[in-house]
Amino acid sequence: MNATDQGPTHHGERTGHGRWPFLRHYLEMLAAMLAGMLIGMLVLGTAVRGVLTLAGLEFPARPEAATLEMAFYMSAGMVVWMRYRGHGWAGTLEMAGAMFAPALALFPFLWLGLISGDSLMLLEHIVMLPLMWLVMLRRRHEYGA
């Protein structure tokens, strides 16, 4: 039986079943998102903007670009942590998709002038939290519920 059949592992150990492992995974994802966001903004964001400046370009000052950049950084942190914890690629990519789906769904509202760029970023963060929970419920056997 492989790791995806047994559920997530950490150095070969099962995580167990019940509410606590499920909640713990959710909290780990929030921490990984925060770490990815902070590291991404400080390291990758600074590097990208530095390279663009050297090339005589600037980062697009569009709310869509900022929102996708933030989703990328949060996803990167989650992907690294989920793979470290032994999760398969399917569940990992679904969780990363939960970072991008709200932004993509909200872009038309921005383009129609129904929400502002600041509202876009805020709503993306608000919607992604329950969406992550739903992704976890879809694979509850993998997350310990």
List the structure tokens of 126: 């608000």
Residue 92 falls inside a structural domain? yes
Give domain status of residue 103, yes or no. Answer: yes
Which residue from 63, 64, 67, 131 is spatially nearest to 94, judged by alpha carbons?
131
Instruction: Confirm whether 5 is domain-assigned.
Output: no
pLDDT digits (tens, 9 = 90+) for 6-61: 444 444 334 456 788 888 888 988 999 999 988 888 888 888 778 888 888 776 67
Q: Could you read off the pLDDT of 83-120 as tens digits, one per residue?
A: 998 889 998 999 999 999 999 999 999 999 999 988 99
Q: Residue 74 and residue 125: Cα distance in Å, rounded?
A: 10
Q: State the Cα–Cα distance between residues 24 and 16, nearest whole angstrom.
A: 11
pTM to 2 decimals? 0.74
Alpha helix ranges (H) inside 8-138: 19-39, 46-54, 63-84, 89-111, 117-138
Tell me which residue has tokens 């876009």: 120
| C-alpha span between 88 and 93 (Å, rounded) | 9
In a domain, 102, yes or no: yes
pLDDT for position 4: 46
Q: Does 8 map to a domain?
A: no
CA 140 to CA 145: how far, in whole Å? 5
Q: Determine phi and psi for 140, rounding to 5 degrees.
A: -55, -30
- Number of domains making up the chain: 1
How many other C-beta atoms are found inside a 10 Å radius of the C-beta of residue 35?
A: 17
What are the residues facing 14 on neighbouring strands? 9
- Domain membership of residue 87 (yes or no) is yes
**Residue 10 located in a structural domain:** no
Whole domain around residue 29: which residue ranges?
15-143
Q: Is residue 1 part of a domain?
A: no
